């Protein structure tokens, strides 16, 4: 076991991972962790389980370097607007094959989502009825708090974290009501329309000191009122939007083009996907939330304001198309118009046939384990070091979000080093990017 340093509390006892939204991503995560526990698969794509970093003792597995909750000590719970148990929801999501699901079927069938805090105004294309009734949004938040407490007691958890895996809500902006905690709580009491369900969950979690991660591009905790609450209860938060698929590719390719000082004239990205997420995003108001999140990526890698001759005229377009036959197997196409020496033009075409939830599940696991680590280390507020996992990283108002995946990785590693009282390393050392043999 890793030696404890400084203020870092050990990962004793069980960690409860609470998931508002038990659809494709959540069920792929849960079934996957159960399968890994039984030796039925490898947690590929998860840094906490398979990643290494360079330490004073050589290259080490991250989980041997920092004290993380063990997969054996995790309990899952959550909420959904559909009452399907996790097995039924996983079958409908059609991500994992029948053989794998059968191997963990009894455990999945025993997991039934709690009734959701839901408002159809925020997600128009869903018609689930497994929802809480309430008088005010404060009453709704109190019901979620009661769920959190019951779950913790019933499952005997030492600590909890919450990761939003619910649908993308419609686009809305931070307003006067979101400015202060007092104003927000008044809004809860008076049923203010611009308090979204995801904010109700976040409020409940933060009130209870439960770290909150936002896996969708929703506004959610990205408002001063909820950050004030996070500060008051000393609770870490992170968001927004899991970085998978096309955006993952973008943040891998773009830093390379920028490193070689190659110009970009245009970047056209289009997707087809046919899962429930795709159905929700078929509504223009819900798509707008996703579009804003996806569009933010390139500017912060290329810095067009500092490099106008290379990126000043770049045209960036992102489309998502709902196409049911594709199911969870999202297919994306990128056409990148680049230019080099003397302005001569070239094109790059990327056709990524990915599996959305297969890419997202390990991110949820890592975010859950790392935000629990942050809490045990006494860290609170926005955890920028988790930007590595997020498409539209939440940052303090005075900090520019970092999108370059390689810089994000260095930030993440350095935070782990600091937690274990080791000095940070400079970006781009050989050790940062290459996994050597574990010692």
Ligand X SMILES: NC(=O)c1ccc[n+]([C@@H]2O[C@H](COP(=O)([O-])OP(=O)(O)OC[C@H]3O[C@@H](n4cnc5c(N)ncnc54)[C@H](O)[C@@H]3O)[C@@H](O)[C@H]2O)c1
- Footprint of ligand X on this chain (CB under 6 A)? 20-26, 79-82, 93, 116-118, 123, 126, 128, 165-168, 197, 215-216, 241-242, 244-245, 275-277, 280, 356-357, 359-360
Instruction: State the Cα torsion 152-155-156-162 to the nearest 10°.
Output: -40
Residue number closest to ligand X, CB atom: 23
- Looking at the Cβ atoms of 383 and 414, the one nearer to ligand X is 383
How are beta strands 212-214 and 52-55 bridged, if at all? Answer: unpaired
In angstroms, what is the minimal distance from the CB of 242 to ligand X? Answer: 4
How far is the C-alpha of 199 from the C-alpha of 39, rounded, in Å?
A: 37
Q: Provide the minimum distance between the beta carbon of 345 and ligand X in the complex, in angstroms, as a whole number.
A: 32
| Least CB distance to ligand X at residue 297 (A) | 13
Closest CA to 197 of 125, 282, 131: 131
> Any residues with CB less than 8 A from the CB of 375 and at least 6 apart, and which?
159, 161, 209, 211, 235, 236
CA trace torsion 402, 403, 406, 409 (10° rounding): 60
CB of 263 to ligand X, least distance (A): 29
Which residues, in sequence order, are CB contacts of 347 under 8 Å at separation 6+? Answer: 335, 336, 337, 338
Taking the least distance from each CB to ligand X, the nearer of 241 and 402 is 241
Backbone CA torsion sign across 403, 405, 408, 410: negative
CB 296 within 8 A of CB 183: no
CB of 54 to ligand X, least distance (A): 29
342: left (phi over 0), alpha (psi -120 to 50) or beta: left
Sequence length of the chain is 439
Rounded Cα gap, residues 36 and 43, in angstroms:
7
Report the residue number, 367 or 377, with the smaller CB distance to ligand X: 367
Q: How far is the CB of 424 from ligand X (least distance, A)?
A: 29
Strand partners, 320: 271
Nearer to ligand X by C-beta: 53 or 272? Answer: 272
Pick the closer one to ligand X by CB: 31 or 53.
31
As measured in angstroms, the least distance from the Cβ of 262 to ligand X is 28
CB-nearer residue toward ligand X: 202 or 373:
202
Q: Which candidate, 380, 329, 377, places its Cα nearest to that of 354?
A: 329
Nearer to ligand X, 222 or 422 (CB): 222
- C-beta of 80 vs 366, nearer to ligand X: 80
Nearest to 21 by CA among 218, 244, 174, 181: 218
We find the least distance from the C-beta atom of residue 425 to ligand X, in angstroms, to be 29
């Amino acid at each position: 076991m890793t030696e404890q340093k400084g203020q870092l509390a050990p990962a004793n006892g069980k960690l409860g991972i609470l998931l508002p939204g038990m659809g494709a991503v959540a069920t792929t995560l849960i079934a996957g962790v159960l399968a890994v526990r039984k030796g039925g698969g490898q947690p590929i794509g998860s840094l906490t389980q398979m990643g290494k970093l360079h330490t004073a003792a050589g290259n080490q597995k991250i989980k041997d370097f920092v004290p993380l909750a063990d997969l054996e000590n995790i309990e899952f719970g959550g909420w959904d607007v559909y009452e399907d148990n996790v097995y039924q929801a996983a079958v409908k999501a059609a991500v994992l094959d029948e053989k794998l699901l059968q191997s963990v079927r009894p455990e999945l069938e025993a997991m039934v989502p709690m009734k959701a805090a839901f408002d159809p105004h925020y997600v128009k294309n869903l018609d689930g009825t497994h929802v809480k009734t309430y008088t005010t949004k404060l009453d709704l938040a109190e019901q979620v708090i009661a769920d959190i407490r019951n779950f913790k007691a019933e499952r005997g958890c030492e600590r909890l974290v919450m990761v939003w895996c619910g649908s993308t809500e419609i686009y809305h902006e931070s307003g006067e009501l979101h400015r202060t905690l007092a104003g927000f709580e008044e809004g809860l009491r008076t049923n203010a329309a611009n308090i979204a369900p995801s904010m109700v969950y976040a409020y409940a979690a933060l009130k209870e000191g439960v770290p909150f991660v936002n896996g969708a591009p929703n506004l959610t905790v990205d408002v001063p009122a909820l950050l004030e609450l996070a500060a008051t209860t000393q609770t870490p938060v992170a968001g927004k939007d899991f970085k998978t698929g096309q955006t993952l590719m973008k943040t891998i390719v773009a830093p390379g083009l920028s490193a070689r000082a190659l110009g970009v004239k245009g970047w056209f990205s289009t997707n087809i996907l046919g899962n429930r997420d795709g159905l929700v995003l078929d509504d223009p108001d819900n798509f707008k939330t996703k579009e804003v999140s996806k569009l933010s990526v390139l500017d912060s890698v290329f810095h067009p304001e500092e490099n106008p001759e290379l990126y000043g005229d770049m045209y960036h377009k992102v489309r998502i198309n709902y196409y049911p036959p594709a199911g969870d197997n999202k297919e994306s196409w990128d056409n990148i118009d680049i230019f080099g020496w003397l302005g001569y033009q070239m094109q790059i075409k990327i056709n990524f046939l990915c599996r959305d939830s297969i890419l997202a599940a390990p991110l949820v696991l890592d975010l859950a384990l790392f935000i629990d680590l942050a809490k045990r280390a006494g860290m609170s507020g926005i955890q920028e070091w988790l930007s590595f996992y997020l498409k539209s990283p939440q940052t303090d108002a005075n900090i520019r979000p970092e999108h370059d995946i390689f810089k994000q990785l260095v930030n993440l590693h350095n935070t782990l080093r600091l937690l274990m009282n080791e000095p940070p390393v400079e970006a781009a050392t050989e050790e940062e990017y290459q996994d050597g043999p574990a010692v």
